[in-house]
Amino acid sequence: MEKRKRILITGAAGFLGSHLCDRFIKEDYHVIAMDNLITGQLKNIEHLFPLENFEFYNHDVSKFIHVAGGLDYILHFASPASPIDYLKIPIQTLKVGSLGIHNCLGLAKAKNARVLIASTSEVYGDPTVHPQTEEYWGNVNPIGPRGVYDEAKRFQEAITMAYHTFHGVETRIVRIFNTYGPKMRLNDGRVLPAFIGQALRGEDITIFGDGSQTRAFCYVDDLVEGIYRLLHSHYVYPVNIGNPDEISIKDFAEEIIKLTGTDQKVVFHDLPVDDPKQRQPDISKAKELLDWSPKVSRSEGLKITYEYFKSLSPEELTKKEHNNFDKYIIR
């Protein structure tokens, strides 16, 4: 019998990390999951705890990482990932994208493992090229509120390439565009859980700015498939994974209102600083290199996601925040 491949997943209790745990367990890997639970939720991976090929470590990957035994792969997915989160915990966001990836790359070098890092469409900032191709270098404000995330992710790409070229570590870089699905935190501040949460609680739907800004939303299963293919590919440069089906936030609010049947009104708030005006992935590379394109339409994906949020307990629905950020906020 072939020996099970061993994979370390950081940020394993988060939205994407937990879906990746499920996928690699399904593929019969031995999954070593790590999370410090600042933004991750243990309930996302609790069902895996009884499995003999699953281990969980409550650990901050910004500190030295020790893993006993061999490792074939590392997926670095630890990071706050919503604008509200990284406003609340900016220093941790910078640390996990710099010290955290440095530890992962050092571990990969020591274990001769292949690393795939979660980068983001935020490396393009408020883009002046549309749709965004991997060749575009971006338009990022390093000192704005989003800078802590954007620059950490850009540094992450730089150090990953350096470990590849200087140390010969096998590396992969995925640039993830807006993604949604079950296991998102209802109160993470992102637009989709925000709108659905508001509809479920009978609150007004809050559009920031005039709602003309655009996003393109990818269903999580499609994203996970793209990441799985990229990990097993031979391509070391960044690859966009996302769904190019672009929509304005105003039209998106209308879709959520229709889906949930809410009779709440839409209210307009100020647009957050440096909020990108338009975003859509050019996925030609993923199509060509990975034979990948998204399969789940927004209407199908939204239905599944709505069912998930509806299944949450009334306490979860009304809780303002699942995680205790207070002690992490640097004032």
| Catalytic residue set | 149
Residue 246 interacts with ligand UDP (CB under 6 A): yes or no: no
Residue 178 interacts with ligand UDP (CB under 6 A): yes or no: yes
In the complex, minimum distance from the CB of residue 178 to ligand UDP, in angstroms, rounded to a whole number? 5
Residue 215 interacts with ligand UDP (CB under 6 A): yes or no: yes
Residue 145 interacts with ligand UDP (CB under 6 A): yes or no: no
**Parallel, antiparallel or unpaired: strands 246-248 and 214-216:** antiparallel
- In terms of CB distance, is 82 or 171 closer to ligand UDP? 82
Residue 191 interacts with ligand UDP (CB under 6 A): yes or no: yes
Return all residues near 214 (Cβ < 8 A) that are at least 6 apart: 246, 247, 248, 249, 277, 278, 279, 280
Scanning 11-19, 61-69, 183-191, 235-243 for contacts with ligand UDP by CB under 6 A, the matching segment is 183-191
Q: Give the number of other Cβ atoms within 10 Å of residue 231's Cβ.
A: 18
CA-CA distance, 176 to 239, in Å (whole number)? Answer: 9
Q: Give the number of other Cβ atoms within 10 Å of residue 37's Cβ.
A: 13
- In terms of CB distance, is 199 or 296 closer to ligand UDP? 199
Q: Rule CB under 6 A: which of 291-320 touch ligand UDP?
A: none
Between helix 298-310 and helix 191-201 the angle, nearest 10°, is: 50
Residue 220 interacts with ligand UDP (CB under 6 A): yes or no: no
Which helix (H) or strand (E) segment is 93 a member of? Answer: helix 90-111
CA-CA distance, 311 to 293, in Å (whole number)? Answer: 30
Residue 208 interacts with ligand UDP (CB under 6 A): yes or no: yes
Q: Which of 32, 173, 194, 231 binds ligand UDP (CB under 6 A)?
A: 194
Helices marked H in 170-248: 191-201, 220-231
Peptide bond into 131 cis (omega under 30): yes
- In terms of CB distance, is 109 or 250 closer to ligand UDP? 250
Residue 249 interacts with ligand UDP (CB under 6 A): yes or no: yes
- In terms of CB distance, is 38 or 194 closer to ligand UDP? 194
Structure letter (DSSP) for residue 265: P
Q: How many chain residues bind ligand UDP (CB under 6 A)?
A: 15
Q: Which of 53, 133, 206, 293 binds ligand UDP (CB under 6 A)?
A: 206
Q: Which residues bind ligand UDP (CB under 6 A)?
A: 82-83, 178, 189-191, 194, 206-208, 213, 215, 249, 272, 275
